[in-house]
Amino acid sequence: MEIIKIKDINKNQISKIYNYFYELPNHGFLDFSKNKKNFEKEFIDILNNKKFRFLIEIHNEEIQNYILIKNENSINRSVVMTKDVGKLKNNLTIIKEFSGSNTLEIGIRNHTRKEMNKISFLTYLRTYNFMKLELGNLFNSNDEDSILKLKNYKQYYKDLLSIQNDCFADQYGYEANDLLEFKKELQNLEKRGINSYFEITKSNDEWSGYAWTQLNEENNEGRLSMCGIKKKFRNRGLAKPLIISSINNLIINNCEVIYLEVDNQNEPAKKIYSDLGFKKYSKLDWYVITN
């Protein structure tokens, strides 16, 4: 495995890596853009980010496999992504060297549990479902008066970051963002032509819930990126009106289909999405990598 560093990369190498990823189906926790310019931006951002390490296997000048490692040190976890899971064991030394004492986890798309049980160094952890909704008419909603639509979210960076971290603090695998990371993520989305929308549920004038949706201007595809309610305000029926308001906003902005990801163990959220017409189309199984 060769470690790719930003100082070593050139346009020709990025083109080769793009062509390699373009042919791959979605297979891990991160989907790279099929648009070449956007891919280049995403890939260079990863190479520049100290949280990531990118390893690549080349034979006769052709890419055979890769390993992408993301360190989430604040929650003592490192996430691994690769094309060929079977080769991970041969590279555990270099993976552990970068990840330190973190627990190693890998998310794998659409494999059956039976297939994965053959790989002895993986232990099943949990599943996330990918769902989508083909959009049509607006949903009826009688609760939008309690929802704040942030027309200029850039005025609210700190408030948005605070409620995001509050809402998801107890969610498995959530690593709290800092202000710089949060701003950079939004700026990178903007550069790729993806608009962000934020809607807030208010309870007694306190921000109690949060929804972040995204809309790709190029293909009119939307994403419910995050939706959460602060712990002390849960079980009051606040989530569904917030989700409906967010979906209606996407419809108004010419969104044609919306995607989301939900923990398979989150039965209340799964019921809301199913009731609104979302259908499961894919899944991501998470495993712990053991010796």
CA atoms of 125 and 116, how far apart (whole Å): 12
Tokens 């990840």 belong to residue? 99
Query: pTM, whole model, 2 decimals?
Result: 0.89
Write out pLDDT tens, residues 74-117: 999 999 999 999 889 889 999 999 999 999 999 999 887 777 77
Mean pLDDT of the chain: 91
Confidence of residue 272 (pLDDT cuts 50, 70, 90): very high
Contacts (Cβ under 8 Å, ≥6 apart) of 291 = 92, 121
Write out pLDDT tens, residues 111-136: 877 777 778 899 999 999 999 999 88
- CATH of 132-283, picked from 3.90.230.10, 3.40.50.2300, 3.40.630.30, 3.10.110.10, is 3.40.630.30
Q: Report pLDDT for 7.
A: 62
CATH number of 2-109: 3.40.630.30
pLDDT at 6 exceeding the cut of 70: no
The arrangement of strands across the sheet holding 52-59 comes to: 2-4, 52-59, 62-72, 77-82, 103-109, 279-289, 122-134, 257-263, 221-229, 206-216, 194-203, 147-150
pLDDT at 188 exceeding the cut of 90: no
pLDDT at 24 exceeding the cut of 90: yes
> Could you tell me where in the chain the CATH 3.40.630.30 domains are found?
2-109, 132-283
CA atoms of 82 and 106, how far apart (whole Å): 9
Contacts (Cβ under 8 Å, ≥6 apart) of 44 = 6, 9, 14
**DSSP helix/strand/coil, 115:** helix
